[in-house]
Structure 1
């Protein structure tokens, strides 16, 4: 699971190898290490009779009750798990004070932005398609993610899969978003309300794509948030293929996550996208081709160029096939 951001006032400090036992369920957990802490509590990696789990402990029940309710609700939903699986909730009594805690699935993966940096910008569309597929399922059962940002996403390996963390910001459709981060909040940019609806999450998906090109993010300058964001998109070449999709998301023109996902899939199939992939692979091939100081005949040059073209076409086809397999896996997992 990701390392959470730290704050000075920590509600309950537990030591490595310390064992805590729940007051009601009597289950024992051994602290392996701290994963981090925030406003609502501290998260630890623990060892249990189920294996490694994530345990979140708080100073009072109200701090984590909404998160427990959300996780419990999703554990009853048939199909893929929307976020970490929920396991247990209990109290830990220490020096006469009661600390509520709950345990959930420990997701071992790589943070969203570092994964893209390592794998390349082509993976923006793959992970976005997976994310949109899950958002569609979430919206269909009446929930909005709300605080959708890279810090709340992990990418697991074998198979490559984007997973959600920190469900504390999830809100029932129609209510006011209860947790948000300004960069991903359409209200901050003056492009909509903070009403919990599918278009709120899809705005955040567009900002997620922008964040991939601007990892350190930026603040709003001036009153016209839309023009400011459009200019930022234009300045990053890796965002140009996604510009129509990003703008529709910013404008709230998508009626559902499926609509946004469909546009991304069409982008994968477009000739222009294939040409971009060809160009990227041409650059990589030239980078690793050894220099040959001997002169070659025109026939040799033509033969090697033709072979190289066939090889590059196979690479492009293989890449697109991988994208479709990942997309289909995201629908079935």
Structure 2
């Protein structure tokens, strides 16, 4: 966390100076220790390996856990997503026990495909690479083949529910094309586009961190894709890095983003009436992935559009920071512990060291009502502003955001109204929704001898130093300073009695050596200020 550490030097009597320095050492150390925030529970655990970090934490219907041994049947591993397409450079043959898929597939009017290596496995099906057996003819040469056994949980006395969802969305922007589907033997088979690596794969190959520019592009395009899906009356239900795939490398689509796996998709709108589905809650059922699921999903509430956006928010923070505060929990009550930690983590803490728009996005999505229509244009514009700041050239962006330009244009037409709303948001509100903190500055004045004084408030990180240096040039020194979120308030006086003053704004707790060095230079510590926010270097 960024810390403003400052020290000030007073004119002392020569005989009192050594003793004063010795007396302040234990006091300063105690103050620093008391101010240090308590570490999260995850940090207290032993250091885990990367394999343990990618624990199995996927779909777990709570009503079927009792009586089962070993891993839950519906659980998916972090490295084994149920995707309609995966990167072809991480393929393995299936050597697990159980029914084997056919060696060749032909459904409906499709060409005959040879079933090749396995791409991945999930709670409802498994995906293989398929190669067209004929040298010429219609159909793609290489495709993704998704198999679901007729007895799987996704098949209820008929074709998988996922087929219904793909039929309904009709090949909209951001989803792979389904070329053929049908049944062969005991399997329902879907022939789809072969895509490239998932965002999880990309994140792994980038030393578990992505650039702000990359994640901002992902955010813009993902919001657009979810808006298209929601417009068809469906919510995805399992938004996470493993279900976002890039296009095939070496093709014009390699920079495009795709959302796959509609196995948990549900309707948020009744197509016949056009009305929102009714609210319900079943605390014994969980649908999704523990790490990225919304709080409402943990509580068994009916899924709606807000849940997809909340899961996207957690996905973006994970890709940018490399971890989430609720990772590392184990045991039968894992869902409860993760949900409890999510509910206790405020956006300002979750988005620490993330650009400001990320926190704004999290604050917005966690406050959406069950049946409220999200403002997709406003959400996309938050991350578009990040790209404007970093000076990203649209032609060389890591992810193609052309599909979201219509949303950005909508925001541009209404930006005047949005600016008014944002200004109104800064004012104190009478009604505040549960779960979000409300803060404002409180100024206290005491009677004292008149002197020159200067008061600054709502000062951003980058401007704190400018105000301090200007005040020092006018003979003023800091007498009081505090922070809230990513804003500062400080009072500078001409009557402090200080002869000089130093400070430092750093993203971590101050070091003992630094404090002791200042004591050696006849300085003593005035204050140590903490705040949960991003520090711009």
Question: Is TM > 0.5 for Structure 1 vs Structure 2?
Answer: yes
Matched, 1:242 2:358: yes
Cα distance, 1:320–1:227 mapped onto 2, change above 3 Å: farther
1:142 aligned to which of 211, 233, 237: 233
Determine helix, strand or coil for the equivalent of 2:291.
helix
Q: Normalized against structure 2, the TM-score is what?
A: 0.44
Matched, 1:73 2:160: no
Matched, 1:101 2:189: yes
What pairs with 1:65-214 in structure 2 (closer than 5 Å)?
65-75=160-170, 80-93=172-185, 98-107=186-195, 109-115=196-202, 118=206, 120-156=211-247, 158-159=252-253, 160-173=255-268, 174=277, 179-187=287-295, 194-214=301-321
1:259 aligned to which of 356, 360, 378: 378
Matched, 1:45 2:120: no
Provide Cα deviations, 1:244-266, integer angstroms capped at 9, x if missing partner.
22222223277232231122223
Cα distance, 1:250–1:85 mapped onto 2, change above 3 Å: same
Residue 34 of structure 1: how far off its partner (Å): 1.0
Higher mean Cα deviation, 59-68 or 223-232?
A: 223-232
Contact 2:230 2:305 in 1 (8 A): yes
1:19 equivalent in structure 2:
104
Higher helix share: 1
**Hey, what's the Cα distance between the residues in 1 that align with 2:341 and 2:169?**
39
Matched, 1:319 2:390: no
Determine helix, strand or coil for the equivalent of 2:181.
strand
Residue 87 of structure 1: how far off its partner (Å): 1.9
Contact 1:198 1:257 in 2 (8 A): no
Residue 233 of structure 1: how far off its partner (Å): 2.3
Contact 2:174 2:257 in 1 (8 A): no
Contact 2:93 2:118 in 1 (8 A): no
Contact 2:245 2:259 in 1 (8 A): yes
Residue 38 of structure 1: how far off its partner (Å): 2.2
Structure 1, unaligned runs of 5 or more: 278-315
Determine helix, strand or coil for the equivalent of 2:190.
strand
**Hey, what's the Cα distance between the residues in 1 that align with 2:217 and 2:404?**
10
**Hey, what's the Cα distance between the residues in 1 that align with 2:122 and 2:91?**
7
**Hey, what's the Cα distance between the residues in 1 that align with 2:188 and 2:307?**
32
Matched, 1:58 2:58: no
Determine helix, strand or coil for the equivalent of 1:169.
coil
Contact 2:115 2:130 in 1 (8 A): yes
**Hey, what's the Cα distance between the residues in 1 that align with 2:93 and 2:266?**
24
**Hey, what's the Cα distance between the residues in 2 that align with 1:162 and 1:196?**
24
**Hey, what's the Cα distance between the residues in 2 that align with 1:170 and 1:91?**
21
Residue 115 of structure 1: how far off its partner (Å): 2.9
Determine helix, strand or coil for the equivalent of 1:12.
coil
Determine helix, strand or coil for the equivalent of 1:34.
strand
What pairs with 1:223-302 in structure 2 (closer than 5 Å)?
223=340, 225-230=342-347, 232-235=349-352, 237-252=353-368, 255-269=374-388, 274=389, 277=390
**Hey, what's the Cα distance between the residues in 1 that align with 2:130 and 2:95?**
22
Contact 2:288 2:297 in 1 (8 A): no
2:59 equivalent in structure 1:
none
Provide Cα deviations, 1:147-202, integer angstroms capped at 9, x if missing partner.
10111111235451111111112111137798411222223687x76323221111
Output the aligned Cα RMSD.
3.6
Higher mean Cα deviation, 199-208 or 243-252?
A: 243-252
**Hey, what's the Cα distance between the residues in 1 that align with 2:291 and 2:145?**
29
2:77 equivalent in structure 1:
none
Which has the bigger relative contact order, CA under 8 A and spacing at least 6? Answer: 2
Residue 57 of structure 1: how far off its partner (Å): 1.7
**Hey, what's the Cα distance between the residues in 1 that align with 2:218 and 2:91?**
21
**Hey, what's the Cα distance between the residues in 1 that align with 2:287 and 2:92?**
16
Cα distance, 1:46–1:5 mapped onto 2, change above 3 Å: closer
Contact 1:52 1:106 in 2 (8 A): yes
Provide Cα deviations, 1:91-136, integer angstroms capped at 9, x if missing partner.
223xxxx3222212221x2221443564623211111101111111
